[in-house]
Chains A and B, each alone.
Chain A
């Protein structure tokens, strides 16, 4: 058998409607697939709640007498923590190895034969998954938190739509990072090393272990604009608690959008390079 270019050319204008229909169908399938793991969602929610209490108490203790720390007051910190625990599942920061597993087993060959670009189809599945997670994992912590802590309610009406847009972009940025980490399997077969680096780096640099504002100012600025990590967690949370004026919030969402474009382009580039060297055994 000769070599085939499995990835089809991007559809042109006339095919836009079917393209959206396909994307929507894949996303809906992703939603349904994850909606079946209801018990796991409940267990995860319980864990998020425990960590919500832990982190909330710890960060609140850091505010001391002044009642503020790193530009957050106590209510903003509480919202930051509880919304953050919910967002963890929406962006699915850890544990996604679907692509790496399929590359290792050779099942990825089936993905390459489909008339949808693998980056597109995996992204659609991931957005469907995130949609279910937003309902099952993001909403409950936002409801539970206020029962036990004074939380911050956004003052500006535009904050809520901006937050939702920021979450959507965060999901795609996180997906792009995870896709790249998984795609190292095309070269390495065993992705344990890159996966460990990602797990360690993302938790700290995204603002999960502590708000990045706790770091010295210049360091936070570098992380925000020069790395994609804050864009997957810290930025939506900062937007939600209105840590900075609306204009800064808009700028940060713009940075997220730039990362979306850059990462998805990089994913496609990596995918194309990988397809040239991929050898799948068997028939």
Chain B
């Protein structure tokens, strides 16, 4: 890697990455890919094991529909669109930035110091240092569930809905990625936060796997609208299916997904910058 700066500098950068930086990132990614593929059997086991987690999420939905005809006023075919959007969005975000959940360990062991003194952005480095290619299988499966759901739901396709079917999963990826980064920044302040982040990341995945009509009270208000999870899968699914929201939001709420995702990304970026600035090394 080219040593462009000898002096340690604060990691966050305002300028767009230059060609040299992109080369460095590509080198990091290439090294990751090679090292992970080196142990081929382990890699295959990991690929299979990782798809299993998402498979069981879908199986759970199927089993629940084995004992009931509808869930929160939605049929299996309709719910599968919700599941597909959630699974596709979460699995892809988990592949791209899910490893940020290791940040507490990096902070505790002091590895984060090493990341900060390098002349590259801290966040991209952390993501590329350990990009879990084994999670590829999960993302592909999530996409397959979404495609199957979209085909089998009997959607009355219009140009607008085709566009939404493309934009909504991308917005879901951005939203979940933001949630991963946001929750990880907690460890800058509370190193022993342990599985706390899981309650929002994996909790959000479970929440978005079902129509929000299933939930009730302040819990629904908090997760669905306070944190915005309703716009990840539920409202886009309503817009795709052409159903009115039983809870009374207008039909355009499905189109709010990209906007909500952008807001989430902005919040995550802000929280990350504030968090990095707050970071105190644990010492050597």
Number of A-B contacts (CB under 8 A): 102
B206 touching A54 by the CB < 8 A rule? yes
Residues of A within 8 A of B217 (CB): 148
Residues of B within 8 A of A96 (CB): none
Q: How far is the CA of A190 from the CA of B46 in the complex (A)?
A: 12
Chain B residue total in the interface (Cβ 8 A) = 39
A214 touching B196 by the CB < 8 A rule? no
Q: Evaluate whether A43 and B66 lie within 8 angstroms (CB atoms) in the complex, with A51-B206, A193-B45 already known.
A: no
Q: Closest CB-CB distance, A132 to chain B, in whole Å?
A: 15
| B56 interface residue (CB < 8 Å to A) | yes
Residues of A within 8 A of B46 (CB): 192, 196
Q: Closest CB-CB distance, A237 to chain B, in whole Å?
A: 17
Residues of A within 8 A of B281 (CB): none
| A47 interface residue (CB < 8 Å to B) | yes
Interface centre among A54, A196, A203, A214 (most CB of B within 10 A): A54
Residues of B within 8 A of A210 (CB): 60, 63-64
Q: How far is the CA of A59 from the CA of B61 in the complex (A)?
A: 11
Q: How far is the CA of A39 from the CA of B194 in the complex (A)?
A: 8
Residues of A within 8 A of B70 (CB): 64
Closest to B213 in A: A61
Q: How far is the CA of A59 from the CA of B63 in the complex (A)?
A: 11
Q: Closest CB-CB distance, A90 to chain B, in whole Å?
A: 15
- Besides A57-B214, A61-B68, A63-B68, 17 more A-B contacts (Cβ < 8 Å) are A37-B192, A40-B195, A43-B193, A47-B199, A51-B203, A54-B207, A58-B71, A58-B214, A62-B67, A64-B68, A190-B42, A192-B49, A204-B59, A210-B60, A210-B64, A214-B66, A215-B63
A-B contact pairs, 29 of them (CB 8 A): A39-B194, A44-B195, A47-B195, A47-B203, A50-B203, A51-B206, A53-B219, A58-B64, A61-B71, A61-B72, A61-B214, A62-B64, A62-B68, A64-B69, A64-B70, A70-B67, A148-B217, A192-B46, A192-B49, A193-B49, A196-B45, A196-B46, A196-B48, A196-B50, A200-B52, A204-B59, A204-B60, A210-B63, A215-B63
